[in-house]
Structure 1
């Protein structure tokens, strides 16, 4: 049977996440509909108040995130036992929402200096004032925000707490031990833990549109070995700064990279290199990795094989001696490429149309992101002779986020 509840929101956590937490806590099946912002205008008139989230149940629709959360909380036994207890919970929830709503002022302000001033006020005054009150409440209520027991106010706060970190650009609860413990306890609840592990990865959410991306990927002005990481960022809806370096600027930058080469990924003040290592990390981040060490081994073996082929082609491409280059290219065209692609095509056929595990993994995105290199080197559609690989490429290229990226990415020679 289809789920009796349908929750519609944008492709982020945002105001819908408290509701998703509550459904997951109570093990209530629901349809988690996520729409892109460019789909919103067509849907807006169907929403009760022209806003999301929207809950549908038995042919009825309701809006307003807090109202929906309160309704679901009653279904999963996390509401109060009487009207006064519900009032106490509502007072806490409304206070949390008041603090979060102030974040939207950052997004609304177009002047950069004013935006910085608003953010500074939020981080230095709004957050501390709110968190000090909540910390005191948690201390007084046996580790919970209200009533001395778990209520939907706790799930509401924890589900939104990531927004505070994004805005402040540090873990804001580190100075509030009771709130930090509350967050750990909520995230450890079996239903919540399961949800957090399986929910789609999203970008920095609607409240942080004005903020710089948390990830910075630096590479030359081309696709190359960085394109796999770009594919993974786009697939997962994770915002990133796509820094493209001109070759003339490279000598000056080289010493600042971990191993004197690109790409480099920066996150939280740390830098790492190596394209496959970065792609593997992102594969885990966007839920395209294996479920255990053996599954990850299977993916790694395929990726390393693809890279072996790429490296042999690169040797031919960069050989300066024309005679040697001719021999290397002929070997690549007649031996190397057919050898690898024949075997990879057979692997895809055995794996239900994918390179590993019988499902979409980061190995597929890695391979497809590299495929234009093979076409360029051979001067033809190299997959025309390998129908399973061609079908895989078409399938990955048709993924909405990948399709959009291919259409809008900067044009480049390689």
Structure 2
């Protein structure tokens, strides 16, 4: 019988290897489709957003490697046992993803001399910072990254750092015995050992709260909308009181070391702390019934959110550009290369989904879209949704919800 799952990626390990590990661990048969680089142009238009991996199941298709891995982790019992545990795993995975994004330009550098300089800078500026904290987490969690047991976060760590070390030509985990132990545990699992033996021999990769009563949730971020606004929207939509802590930029240095990984936002609840804006939003979405009704629906939402995050990451260098002339040039390029590619597809998805981004109903993906592109437009100084009436309607629907309208009225200016 042909397998029910079809995973499509390039003929490399890369970001699809986590999913392959999860399939193997769970004993789930899957069609391991590998596209050669030279054949990619003819395959690209057939994917939802022009990227792989994609996962096909029962006539449905979804993308985004982390979203796919999260879905599979639920199938093979490597996810959390409750929403907060899922949040802790997601926060760890998203932090590992942050590291990958930060170091990718370095490991891709082809000039050996430049690469050496960039690697030394990376070790000093952020790699040592992150790895030391991850090392301590493994110590705390009895040999695992989170929850004191094996989770898909350990699988993501193992596969991603194997790729990064190969591309850099260096052993990043030297001096971090706990982290090396995590990778050895994962690769030593019988099902994973078997997968490693049989997989194709391919390349790895060429302020203070505005609420009076002390609520049970505390959200900490800078005194602006930014990445935390989606979470504030979700709290407001669900009528959940939260302490809206806002830190001034000049006070940030004294707060940074008190956070898990030196970044905001963070969410505190019942003595626990977790970071990563998207992970927090996913957790809150479950609380306010804006998630999926099953694992596949969660995957579809995650894939859309991660795609919008891809757009944000592509735009960030432009948004941060201070030179007006350079910014104008980069903006014109973005309109063609980024907006022109992604927005027509998102526009069509809203048309297909009856005025929403996914599932034909309101989900937290709509909240992410409404908040993040408002921030982007503000930083660009231009309306980037002009010409996309369906997308503008999504934002209007979200901002027109009674609870959101009220939040917009009372939030700090």
Q: TM-score, normalised by structure 1?
A: 0.47
Q: TM-score, normalised by structure 2?
A: 0.47
Per chain length, whose mean CA-contact separation is higher, i.e. which structure has more relative contact order (CA < 8 Å, sep 6+)? 2
